[in-house]
Structure 1
């Protein structure tokens, strides 16, 4: 009789523990997904409460082997002296081994990414309509061919301005383009050396993770922070600029604008007026 009770006890133990393990495994599988969703929400909440800060993307490491220039050089071509130089609103990385004679604050790797076919380029323009200056923006493909060239209207006062591509010009995915903004102050001398800035731009696709984060929020300032953190400079800056122009008295937007520019060492133009 005792041996029958022993066998029954052993059999019940064998049946009970696998069932318990299976139940625990199912419970872990069920709770894992909400935990991941909670982590994503925490990440979005962090962006929602923080200022936008640009982070250099890991790839591509460099769009072009040619250096760029973020700030125009000193007065030349009879241009008047200005307190703050012509400046492209774009990240700058200083190159190793740059000559001591080179202005390190302006020359180096000047480049940015966009997802837009027709992005907007932003510049601090110190030359105004009252001056004798004229400005021209041009865009070239990787072979150096002009795909767009057009005059730029100067502002009434030194300001940050935007230059958009026309409807008949668009960027192709994965290709690198070179842009220039040139200012001439002596219209009689077409061969004169202009004050200029130059750099690279490349259009890219967003990966599915970033798309999901952008779709998960309706807050434009949060989208700005996402683009900035993912290294998509032109989209981040343009989205914030449009928001700023529509709400010029919003202190939070103004603080985000300054934060984004300061994150790429553009403190000297972070408080400059922005015009349409």
Structure 2
């Protein structure tokens, strides 16, 4: 099955990415011939090599899903934070309508995946030392039936956390759009509106030409570039996140992570730390 290939590609990528970065660095130092300069990973002198995400065309692949990428920090008596709860998902502003005052908050928030059980990533500014607080992630189908709902543990420090769908639940079906919600209650005993973000995700099958490109390379970075170029956000992000967690001190990986997030205008959290493991409770 095609999703098995995707999973195998991700699992085999971590050591290859780091080794290739090291090999390229050695080559640039030892090569004394006046040949073409060796290309380095995410070199700032090579703008075309930056890891950049391309939004997929609509409505061919996505049916626009209105959502909220950033939470409103003033709700639910939550403490003030410099960076709000944020979903690491592409965002496109909707056209302004009469009476709408928060155009920068509400827009199209969604992404594609090829995975049956993808991981969702969020910047969480609230921590576990916040007493009487709770967080919950939920996923619904188009009929608003719960596919998954679970409490999520808050991190020990403000950071990017991953929430993976467990293999024990029903898998995402191909060509169906699902809606996800992530809510934080800072005071469970006080009835109020939680800080929340919401959006959509759609699972697709890879086109044959994309499959051929992925099979033709063993370079994990090139695979991420392919996913990003084809507008398959969750696969590109998840593959890079796994590499980033395992190579947190690798400058090339850090630069690629920052570049990918900056390409969807998430500069403010591009340097935030990642939790070591997907967040489940």
TM-score bracket for the superposition, by shorter chain length: 0.7 to 0.9
Which digits, 9 at most, give the CA deviation of each residue in 1:157-177, with x for residues without a partner?
A: 000000000112220001000
Cα distance between partner residues in 2 of 1:219 and 1:136: 36
Aligned to 1:77, the other structure's residue is in SS state: helix
- TM-score norm. by structure 1 comes to 0.79
Look up the match of 2:251.
251
Cα distance between partner residues in 2 of 1:261 and 1:100: 31
Call closer, same or farther: CA 1:240–1:98 in 2, change over 3 Å.
farther
Cα distance between partner residues in 2 of 1:179 and 1:269: 21
Q: Which has the higher helix share?
A: 1
Where does structure 2 lack aligned partners over 5 or more consecutive residues?
1-38, 43-47, 277-281
Which digits, 9 at most, give the CA deviation of each residue in 1:9-47, with x for residues without a partner?
A: xxxxxxxxxxxxxxxxxxxxxxxxxxxxxxxxxxxx999
The structure 1 segments of at least 4 consecutive aligned residues displaced by more than 6 Å after TM superposition are 45-49
Give the deviation of 1:106 after TM superposition. 2.7
Look up the match of 2:173.
172
Cα distance between partner residues in 1 of 2:270 and 2:103: 19
Look up the match of 1:107.
106
- TM-score norm. by structure 2 comes to 0.78
Look up the match of 1:51.
50
The answer to whether the Cα contact below 8 Å between 1:70 and 1:110 also exists between their aligned partners in 2 is yes
Give the deviation of 1:103 after TM superposition. 2.9
Look up the match of 1:96.
95
Where does structure 1 lack aligned partners over 5 or more consecutive residues?
1-44
Which digits, 9 at most, give the CA deviation of each residue in 1:223-273, with x for residues without a partner?
A: 111100100000000000000001001100100000000000001111111
Aligned length: 231
Look up the match of 1:75.
74
Aligned to 2:222, the other structure's residue is in SS state: helix
The answer to whether the Cα contact below 8 Å between 1:114 and 1:202 also exists between their aligned partners in 2 is yes
Which digits, 9 at most, give the CA deviation of each residue in 1:43-89, with x for residues without a partner?
A: xx999971211101114357445510000013221211111000000
